[in-house]
Amino acid sequence: MPLLNLTLKVWRQENANTEGRIETYEAKEIPTSASFLEMIDIVNERIIKEGGEPIHFDHDCREGICGMCSMTINGVPHSKERGITTCQLHMRKFSDGDTIWIEPFRANAFPVVKDLVTDRSSFDRIIGAGGYISVRTGSAPDAHAIQIPKPDADAAFDAAACIGCGACVAACKNASAMLFVSAKASHLNHLPQGQAEKDQRVLGMVKQMDQEGFGNCTNQFECEAVCPKEISADHIAKLNRDYLTASARSSVS
Amino acid sequence: MSATSCSLCAFVKSSIGRKIIVALTGLALVLFLASHLAGNLLVFAGQEAFDEYAAFLHNLLHGAGVWIARLGLLTCFIVHIWFTILLTKENKTARPKYAHEATVQAPRSSRLMIWSGLTILAFIIFHILHFTVRTDAELAKLGAESPWKMVILAFQNPLVVIFYLISMTLLCSHLGHGVASIFQTLGLRSKKTAGPIKLISKAYALIIYLGFISIPLAILLFGFGCETCK
């Protein structure tokens, strides 16, 4: 099996209150079949063996559905490969002798906890501000109890694919959370069940997004390019439209 | 009443609300450019047509029309710049820099918006002093007699023409991203309209660019109207 020798430039930071710095590591004899996270596991085992502090990073499912892994690889969140999370990236995409820059997702609204681990609870607070439908909990309703036109169901489903990883924020030149917020709002706003709380949802989520210190969208669509679920920036246009109508309605009612 | 004013406050304070204000003022300025260009191209129709058009604008509503337009444009301009500077400052502070920065698909024009915008601001101040206030005594004298002759004389200066060319290039870049952004911010972009919007935006920027630069270039390089100006 071919083995790779790589140079890693990794962001190391003790905690949220200390200054971080880039440190260089040699990643020797990395199998091309390893995933990117396994490569860091291998490097970490060597660091531990030498008595050092391993590189801290977030990960969970390692199959691209949990949204936990959050690294910016050579300046691009989840790497330049389209439609994948960091855990789905494999070392066969790299060549022997490459230098790889590994940094945390950068945004003031995502403070660094340690090394590559960031606190993305700002997303949770946005969801808490309206990213839900208030319903009776209990047994699931019949599948066809409410009719939903196919195009609406598809659009809602596309938006619902968002795993809330935060790559959109990390890729945005302004650290704007518009793709995340628009996907979460669009998912529910496309469905009949979401209509009752639509205006409240849109106004609430946008207000919370602004309070968290995210930047403003400048329509460059870097978010769309890095989204592991390939969510379209068309949802942002829908959020803008819904926000305009919700504001207009709330100003006269 | 208080509920109404409060909703409006929230709108103006919100990121999307401010962007919508920028988009609407931008739209007004974009539409102004088209009418300004159409009027300017009358330079090629000759002295009589151009001077008549200038007189027509100044006599609209007994002379009040031109001032209404100026105040409207000035308001749009100030609001557009004020909110974009506010938004840009927030954007700069929201994102710490990467040690290794990369760009996937954001076009250069979109990353230069604040700089192309500020160059256009500098250009407009110069342009108003040049052709509206007429700080140059010779141009002022000629302008009172014939705006057409004033334009021909003004573009005999290569430095002026170069400054116009640079400014129009940046205006073209600004429009390339700006016009498409109006549609996105007002929520008019979708899978169906994305293609046409991109095309309209690029085409509009190019038409405005070629239209405006054609005048100084024709005068300086091809000597348009020059026998009469001397």
Which tens digits make up the pLDDT trace of B5-60? 688 889 999 999 999 999 999 999 999 999 999 999 999 999 999 999 999 999 99
Chain A residues within 8 A of B16 when measuring between CB atoms = 206, 239-240, 243-244
Mean pLDDT estimate for chain B: 93
What's the pLDDT at A103? Answer: 98
Percentage of chain B modeled with pLDDT above 90: 86
Is B5 a domain residue?
Answer: no
Name the phi and psi angles at A11, rounded to 5.
Answer: -80, 120
What is the domain range of residue B197? Answer: 17-91+111-229
Domains annotated for chain A, with CATH where assigned, are 3-114 (3.10.20.30), 122-252 (1.10.1060.10)
Pick from A93, A26, A123, A83: nearest CA to B104:
A83
CB B19 within 8 A of CB B185: yes
Give the burial class of A170: count Cβ atoms within 10 A of its Cβ; 0-12 exposed, 13-18 middle, 19 or more buried: buried
B107: exposed, middle or buried (C-beta count within 10 Å: 0-12, 13-18, 19+)? middle
d(CA A59, CA A64): 10
The pLDDT value recorded for residue A78 is 98
The mean per-residue pLDDT over the stretch B47-74 comes to 94
Please state the pTM of the whole predicted model. Answer: 0.94
Tell whether B102 is covered by a domain.
no
Q: Name the B residues in 159-218 with CB < 8 Å from any A CB.
A: 177, 180-181, 183-191, 194
Segments in chain A below pLDDT 50: none
Mean pLDDT of B139-155: 92
B residues 46-105 closer than 8 Å to A (CB): 87, 90-105
How far is B219 from chain A, CA to nearest CA, in Å? 38
A51-55, A215-219, B115-119, B130-134, range with the lowest pLDDT: B130-134
Decide if the complex's ipTM is over 0.90.
yes
Residue B3 has pLDDT above 60, yes or no: no
- Calculate the CA B51 to chain-centre distance: 23
**DSSP for B48-103, written as a single string:** HHHHHHHHHHHHGGGGHHHHHHHHHHHHHHHHHHHHHHHHHHHHHHHSPPPSS---
Q: Which helix (H) or strand (E) holds A184?
A: helix A178-189
Q: Specify the number of domains making up chain B.
A: 1
What is the least distance, in Å, from the CA of B44 to any CA of chain A? Answer: 38
- Residue B6: inside a domain: no
Whether B99 is in a domain gets the answer no
Query: B1 pLDDT exceeds 50?
Result: no
B98 in any annotated domain: no
Q: Best mutation site among B98, B173, B185 for testing chain A: the one with the most A CBs within 10 Å?
A: B98
Q: Identify whether B96 is part of a domain.
A: no
What pLDDT is stored for residue B4 in this prediction? 53
Report CA Rg, chain A. Answer: 20
Q: How confident is the model at residue B227 (pLDDT cuts 50, 70, 90)?
A: confident
Take residue B97 and report the two structure tokens written for it: 């820099």
